[in-house]
Structure 1
Amino acid sequence: MPFPLPSPTLLIEFLALGTFAGFLAGLLGIGGGMLMVPFVTFIVASRGVESGLAVKMAIATSMATILFTSISSLRAHHKRGAVRWDLVRGIAPGIVIGSLAAGAGAFALIKGSVLAVLFAVFVGFSATQMLLDRKPKPSRVMPGPLGQGAAGAGIGFLSGLVGAGGAFVSVPFMTWCNVPIHNAVATSAALGFPIALASTVGYVIGGWNLPNALPGSLGYLYLPALACIAVASVSTAPLGARVAHSLDVRQLKRVFALMLYALAAYMVHKGLTG
């Protein structure tokens, strides 16, 4: 049976979204999920998919793209020697457990409207983090292996619910514990892959018996969107990273934070009216 292809217009929309999200991810060092989830929700819902399911498909598809984008980001950070692999070993086991629990369990049980509001809360949190520049107390340090595993489980669970790579929690957590920001960002990039892998496996398990909402969907995953966004974002993220060296990224982050607030408002509207 041949694979059903979506319309060219739909493919162009997802390629454009991936291009934009990848460029901004490289420029500002943020995860593309915060951008992609609201737009994928809108695109999928406009094709007749029920609002709550559209939110879930957007979250799952956005998370799956991180499987590809995290690899290129990790390679760049590893070459600079910025990844704290000791922290990756401590946090990753908890992340896998938390991500699987979210993707294979809670994600299927929680209504899409609730997930939309939850996503909006964390986008708003991330936007606020961009606007504020609070310094941690000098005495704070990373917890031991048990504490790191517990933190990883929380990061993985929250990430699995909202379709983000975990940087919106892991970077503030590590910098709060006085891990230098460049090490925190690089380590978060390394943690993005296990979050995405465990969550995606969970989404497939949790949505295995769902009927295809659109041609090419697999449970909660929408494969044409995944392919287009992954290809485009991986291609444009390095360009954004190069441009970042010639611009005042701090000012751009303030503007981007305002856009995130607008996207959060859209997801709240979607959650309350869906």
Structure 2
Amino acid sequence: MLSHIIEAGIVLSIAGFFIGFLSGLLGKGGGMLFIPTFWVVFPFLGIPESIVPKSAVATSLACMTVTSATSAWQHIKKGFLRKDIFLFLILGAIPGDFVGSALTAKILSPEMTKVLFALFLIFMSIKMLKGSKKEEGKKQKLNYRSILVTGFTSGFLAGLLGVGGGAVVTPMLYSFADIPIKNAMATSTGVVFFNAFFSTLNYIYYGWHHIKSIFFLGYIYIPALVFMIPPLYFGTKMGVKVMHKVQAEKLRKWFAFFLLAVAVEVVVKVLTSTF
């Protein structure tokens, strides 16, 4: 058992650094990379299959608070996180989160929500790849209506799909609110932290009486955090540094291709689970 823990610790530490780096580079929380990692590692550690899905999501959200908080703080210090629009994003995200959760619970099937999300990502990636507006041509006057809509949409999809919202906020701020790509990525990290933090508290609360183990805090698997948080922190800091050195046009294209890759992954998962 000890050898299993050591092996899992090495895998989680290496994965943590690379996920942190990508999170810092692209302004993402990393949820779509954390969860598959935990799906593989948790059964190897003897965690019951019945709680692996919820534990993977809960632990992923806890890790996302680290990556997003680290990214947000680095962006604040460099002056890239737009404090003037952050509050409007959060004001939109709160009702969006409730509406998205209610829609998932009462109307849409999980497969349908995933397909709609994939279509949305494909649409936004194509729009970003066009790159019709130069960074220097972005409007100086803020469109607060578009920013509120962006916040609502990110909260809506976070509630609908259990994601942090970074894949939604960045392209919408860039394409619809005319925020430069680096500012959009930086500001999205604050929204991801907000969504991940409160979702983490929910998983702690709902799992508190269901799991009786010193290794769990609610549904969060504490040893995974112990192994992942240090490399996550340093990987995220390095990713943010690289992000600020890369040309904005290259960054925009990288993010667009990343959205396409996520969309393809979602569609493949839906098809493989259906047939």
- The two structures have a TM-score, normalised by structure 2, of 0.72
**Closer/same/farther in 2, CA of residues 114 and 215 from structure 1, 3 Å limit:** farther
> What is the 5 A alignment of 1:259-274?
260=262, 263-264=265-266, 267-268=269-270, 272=274
Asked if 1 retains the 8 angstrom alpha-carbon contact of 2:24 and 2:67, the reply is no
Q: After alignment, is 223-232 or 149-158 more displaced?
A: 149-158
**Structure 1 equivalent of residue 208 of structure 2:** 208
**Closer/same/farther in 2, CA of residues 94 and 262 from structure 1, 3 Å limit:** closer
The separation in 2 between residues aligned to 1:14 and 1:54, in whole angstroms, is: 16
Instruction: Tell me the matched-pair count.
Output: 261
Query: Could you tell me which amino acid in structure 2 is paired with residue 158 of structure 1?
Result: L
- The two structures have a TM-score, normalised by structure 1, of 0.72
**Closer/same/farther in 2, CA of residues 40 and 121 from structure 1, 3 Å limit:** farther
After superposition, the C-alpha distances for 1:67-110 in whole angstroms (9 at most, x for unaligned) are 2222221122122322221211112244345557878x899x69
Gaps of 5+ in 1: 1-5
Percent identical among aligned pairs is 29
Asked if 2 retains the 8 angstrom alpha-carbon contact of 1:99 and 1:199, the reply is no
Deviation (angstroms), 1:253: 5.7
The separation in 1 between residues aligned to 2:230 and 2:211, in whole angstroms, is: 27
**Structure 2 equivalent of residue 3 of structure 1:** none
Specify which of 129, 137, 143 is matched with residue 133 of structure 1. 129
Specify which of 11, 21, 24 is matched with residue 23 of structure 1. 21
**Structure 2 equivalent of residue 65 of structure 1:** 63
Deviation (angstroms), 1:168: 0.9
Query: Could you tell me which amino acid in structure 1 is paired with residue 201 of structure 2?
Result: V
**Structure 2 equivalent of residue 49 of structure 1:** 48
> What is the 5 A alignment of 1:1-274?
7-46=5-44, 47=46, 49-50=48-49, 53-96=51-94, 98-99=96-97, 114=110, 118=113, 122=117, 126=121, 129-130=124-125, 132-135=128-131, 142-144=143-145, 151-160=150-159, 162-175=161-174, 176-211=176-211, 216-243=215-242, 245=245, 260=262, 263-264=265-266, 267-268=269-270, 272=274
Asked if 2 retains the 8 angstrom alpha-carbon contact of 1:94 and 1:149, the reply is yes
The separation in 2 between residues aligned to 1:222 and 1:101, in whole angstroms, is: 29
The separation in 2 between residues aligned to 1:271 and 1:23, in whole angstroms, is: 30
Deviation (angstroms), 1:152: 3.0
Deviation (angstroms), 1:249: 5.6
Deviation (angstroms), 1:21: 0.6
Root-mean-square deviation (Å): 4.1
Query: Could you tell me which amino acid in structure 1 is paired with residue 110 of structure 2?
Result: V
The separation in 2 between residues aligned to 1:44 and 1:161, in whole angstroms, is: 25
Q: Secondary structure at the match of 1:224?
A: helix
Deviation (angstroms), 1:33: 1.4
Asked if 1 retains the 8 angstrom alpha-carbon contact of 2:142 and 2:177, the reply is yes
Asked if 2 retains the 8 angstrom alpha-carbon contact of 1:208 and 1:219, the reply is yes
Query: Could you tell me which amino acid in structure 2 is paired with residue 133 of structure 1?
Result: L
**Closer/same/farther in 2, CA of residues 133 and 256 from structure 1, 3 Å limit:** closer
After superposition, the C-alpha distances for 1:154-200 in whole angstroms (9 at most, x for unaligned) are 42242255443311111122122212222211211222222122111
Asked if 2 retains the 8 angstrom alpha-carbon contact of 1:127 and 1:260, the reply is no
Deviation (angstroms), 1:16: 1.9
Deviation (angstroms), 1:41: 2.0
The separation in 2 between residues aligned to 1:171 and 1:66, in whole angstroms, is: 16
**Closer/same/farther in 2, CA of residues 225 and 86 from structure 1, 3 Å limit:** same
**Closer/same/farther in 2, CA of residues 157 and 259 from structure 1, 3 Å limit:** closer
**Closer/same/farther in 2, CA of residues 90 and 258 from structure 1, 3 Å limit:** closer
